[in-house]
């Protein structure tokens, strides 16, 4: 069993009083990701869904593009290593852009901003389903409630919450969902919901893996919006169980 939180005694101060309090603090640990035995990078991560994370991380950073090339993933918890095997040559010297967001695996290859996207699968979702989806993610996000230090990411497919991950980083949580799709745990024909902001790289990896509906509890940025428009995906911000704000391609959302 891997530790996900620790308890810390803190001191709460107000102008009137001072009292001790036990706080639950989320655990972050560095893991090194390897592609075909070659070290690619080390990322701080919440140690859950690590196989999915390794695969999604490499995909997001452009080390492989087609889901078919993925072969296997193995973990070594003791050494903090994630070994991904795929049928690719390692791409050297990519022109990576470290993305805004807020510290994490947000790196995108510059050429992805230029490229055309593959067509998205036919998919629509109703407002009633969106409501159920968001409530299911928020209910599942136990660590979020306890530590206030994780982002949650869920994937809705075939009328139910199919994937759910949390991480200290919003990027990492989305990488886990994307990795799970690449590993065949779900088809991309569905909707993704993240509690994090949809900056450029967040939208880009969803578009590249072929998810037609991308939703966030919060906002998007100019470049996130631009990528959504280019890819033709439905971008939904400020998503609440009873109210959504559709930025692009509203035809995929049915009423009720």
Residues 52-91 that bind a copy of itself (CB under 8 A): none
Q: Whole-angstrom Cα distance, residue 180 to residue 77?
A: 19
- Min separation Cβ 167 and a copy of itself, Å: 7
- Min separation Cβ 126 and a copy of itself, Å: 10
**Residue 141 interacts with a copy of itself (CB under 8 A): yes or no:** no
The string of DSSP letters for 44-80 reads EE-SSSHHHHHHHHHHHTTS---GGGEEEEEEETTTT
Site string for a copy of itself, 115-134 (x = CB under 8 A): ------------xx------
Binder among 1, 18, 22, 116 for a copy of itself (CB under 8 A): 18
CB contact at 8 A, 210 and 118: yes
- Min separation Cβ 187 and a copy of itself, Å: 25
Q: At 96, which helix (H) or strand (E)?
A: strand 96-98
Q: At 194, which helix (H) or strand (E)?
A: strand 191-194
CA R_g for the chain: 19
Q: Which two tokens stand for residue 128?
A: 């009633």
Name the catalytic one among 76, 102, 149, 206.
102
Q: Is 122 helix (H, G, I), strand (E, B) or coil?
A: coil
**Residue 172 interacts with a copy of itself (CB under 8 A): yes or no:** yes
Peptide bond into 182 cis (omega under 30): no
237 catalytic residue (yes or no): no
CB contact at 8 A, 175 and 202: no
According to CB under 8 A, which residues from 198 to 227 bind a copy of itself? 199-202, 218-225
Stretch that binds a copy of itself, among 21-29, 67-75, 82-90, 158-166 (CB under 8 A): 21-29
For 210, phi and psi rounded to 5 degrees?
95, 25
In terms of CB distance, is 103 or 119 closer to a copy of itself? 103
CB contact at 8 A, 198 and 237: yes
Binder among 45, 153, 161, 177 for a copy of itself (CB under 8 A): 45
Kindly determine how many residues on this chain lie close enough to bind a copy of itself according to the rule CB under 8 A: 76
Binder among 95, 114, 116, 184 for a copy of itself (CB under 8 A): 95
- Min separation Cβ 220 and a copy of itself, Å: 6
Give the residue numbers annotated as catalytic, written as ranges: 102
């Amino acid at each position: 069993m891997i530790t996900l939180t620790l308890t810390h005694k803190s001191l709460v101060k107000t102008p009137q009083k001072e009292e001790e309090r036990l706080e639950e603090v989320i655990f972050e640990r560095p893991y090194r990701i390897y592609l075909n035995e070659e070290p690619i990078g080390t990322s701080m991560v919440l140690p859950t869904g690590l196989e999915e994370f390794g695969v999604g991380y490499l995909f997001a950073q452009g080390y492989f593009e087609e889901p078919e090339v993925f072969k296997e993933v193995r973990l070594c918890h003791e050494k903090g290593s994630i070994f991904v095997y795929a049928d690719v040559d390692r791409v050297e010297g990519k022109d990576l852009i470290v993305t805004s967001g807020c510290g994490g695996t947000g790196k995108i290859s510059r050429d992805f901003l230029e490229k055309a996207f593959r067509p998205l699968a036919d998919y629509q979702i109703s407002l009633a389903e969106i409501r159920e989806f968001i409530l299911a993610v928020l209910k599942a996000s136990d660590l979020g409630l306890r530590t206030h230090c994780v982002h949650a990411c869920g994937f809705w497919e075939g009328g139910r919450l199919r994937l759910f991950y949390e991480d200290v980083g919003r990027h990492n949580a989305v990488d886990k969902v994307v990795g799970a799709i690449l590993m065949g745990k779900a088809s991309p024909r569905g909707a993704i919901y993240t509690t994090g902001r949809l900056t450029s790289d967040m939208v880009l990896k969803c578009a590249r893996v072929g998810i037609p509906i991308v939703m966030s509890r919060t906002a998007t940025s100019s470049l996130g919006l631009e990528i959504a428009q280019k890819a033709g995906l439905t971008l939904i911000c400020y998503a609440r169980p009873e109210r959504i704000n559709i930025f692009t391609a509203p035809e995929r959302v049915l009423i009720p």
